[in-house]
Copies of this chain bind each other. A is one copy, B any other.
Amino acid sequence: MIVVMKPGCPREFIDDVIKRIEDLGYHAHPIYGIERTVIGCVGNEDKTPLQSLENMPGVENAFPILKPYKLAGREFHVEPSQVDISGFKVGGEKLALIAGPCSVESREQVLEIADAVKAAGAQFLRGGAFKPRTSPYAFQGLGEKGLEMLVEARDRTGLRIVTEIVNAEDLPGMVEAKVDLLQIGARNCQNYALLDAVGRSGLPVLLKRGISTLISEYLMAAEYILQHENYKVILCERGIRTFETATRFTLDLNAVPIIKQNSHLPLLVDPSHGTGQWRLVEPMARAAIAAGADGVIVEVHPNPKFALSDGAQSLKPEKFERLVSEVRKIAIAMGRSL
């Protein structure tokens, strides 16, 4: 923690701050400058109380110099992690490819898509059974029935299944269904009660970044899961909210190299939600891999114009096939495979 005093602040204020730092169990190192004084606090920077120095008289500001996340950070775990999801190592040499409909709409739909994405090369099938919708009047998903359909699709194709959890009450059903990868969506990225529950469940988690979550906050959200010794956490950039209205969100690919530098966790990119437009999905999937992502998650629907949710951003199976073959070229250029 560095405490910056105001210019011309009286000596007694400085002495008060030094005393308080020492009371909190740190060593205070004042630097008496020409215009102002700055005080360094040396010690184990875990404790919240240091932040309170900011409120003392004469203090202009106080800021931490250590990263606040530990388990998610590179300092804890220097090498990139590989997270094993039912035998597939996310974060390894081979890119992860998750595909499927936004919502599970019917048994026929999900089986048809499962076959198609399997054929195109996906290792994971995504599909929402419980949907968080902005409107209480919109289609909210098929619930338990939808989950059963995903399980059937897994039995038939061997694809691992990825589905969103929106309510801790649904956890037992998810555990029973042996969901391979539990998705926490953008709106729940900082729903700490849910993060805690999911962390305790021990199930692998795909944690999506919130639409206005700072990268530092995002890694802290992962920390909520990791602290329960549930280390199967995969991150996913899916677009942030900015002033630009040409895309539904602004897919933030800068987050890819930034997160890779600061965290050991594997990182996917969701170009479907991130842009909201199917025409942008392939170019942004290519760009995600070129930026260093460990895979992509893509919405596929056999008939997007009849999709009950997010049709505008869904690819038809044949467009998805094309995407895979284009992304594969980039993967190879990056020394990876797909």
Interface residues of A in 220-278 (CB under 8 A from B): 220, 223-224, 227, 240-247, 250-258, 261, 274-275, 278
Query: Which residue of B32, B38, B227, B261 contacts A279 across the interface (Cβ within 8 Å)?
Result: B261
Rounded to whole angstroms, the CA-CA distance of A173 and B35 in the bound complex is 44
Q: Closest CB-CB distance, A178 to chain B, in whole Å?
A: 22
Q: Closest CB-CB distance, A176 to chain B, in whole Å?
A: 19
Rounded to whole angstroms, the CA-CA distance of A257 and B13 in the bound complex is 25
Interface size class on chain A is 35 or more
Contacting residues, chain B, for A292 (C-beta < 8 A):
283
Are B4 and A65 interface neighbours, CB within 8 A?
yes
| CB-CB under 8 A for A42 and B52, given A133-B192, A214-B243, A246-B214 | no
Rounded to whole angstroms, the CA-CA distance of A33 and B139 in the bound complex is 25
Are A55 and B307 interface neighbours, CB within 8 A?
yes
Residue A92 is within 8 A (CB to CB) of chain B in the complex: no
Rounded to whole angstroms, the CA-CA distance of A38 and B63 in the bound complex is 13
Rounded to whole angstroms, the CA-CA distance of A280 and B65 in the bound complex is 22
Query: Which residue of B34, B52, B169 contacts A305 across the interface (Cβ within 8 Å)?
Result: B52
Q: How many copies does the complex hold?
A: 4
Contacting residues, chain B, for A307 (C-beta < 8 A):
52, 55
Residue A311 is within 8 A (CB to CB) of chain B in the complex: yes
Q: Closest CB-CB distance, A196 to chain B, in whole Å?
A: 8
Are A48 and B309 interface neighbours, CB within 8 A?
yes
Closest B residue by C-beta to A243: B241
Q: Which of A133, A134, A215 has the most CB of B within 10 A?
A: A134
Interface residues of A in 17-51 (CB under 8 A from B): 20, 29, 31-36, 38, 40, 42-46, 48-49, 51
Are B280 and A287 interface neighbours, CB within 8 A?
no
Rounded to whole angstroms, the CA-CA distance of A28 and B136 in the bound complex is 27
Residue A304 is within 8 A (CB to CB) of chain B in the complex: yes
Q: Closest CB-CB distance, A237 to chain B, in whole Å?
A: 11
Are B136 and A224 interface neighbours, CB within 8 A?
yes
Closest B residue by C-beta to A215: B246
Indicate with 1 or 0, residue by residue over A48-65, a CB within 8 angstroms of chain B CB atoms: 110111111000100001
Residues of A within 8 A of B (CB): 2, 4, 7, 20, 29, 31-36, 38, 40, 42-46, 48-49, 51-56, 60, 65-66, 68-69, 75, 132-139, 166-169, 187-188, 190-194, 210-212, 214-217, 220, 223-224, 227, 240-247, 250-258, 261, 274-275, 278-280, 283-284, 286-292, 304-309, 311-312, 314, 329-330, 332-334
Sample (9) of A-B pairs whose CB atoms are under 8 Å apart: A38-B65, A40-B40, A133-B192, A134-B190, A135-B220, A166-B193, A240-B243, A242-B243, A250-B252
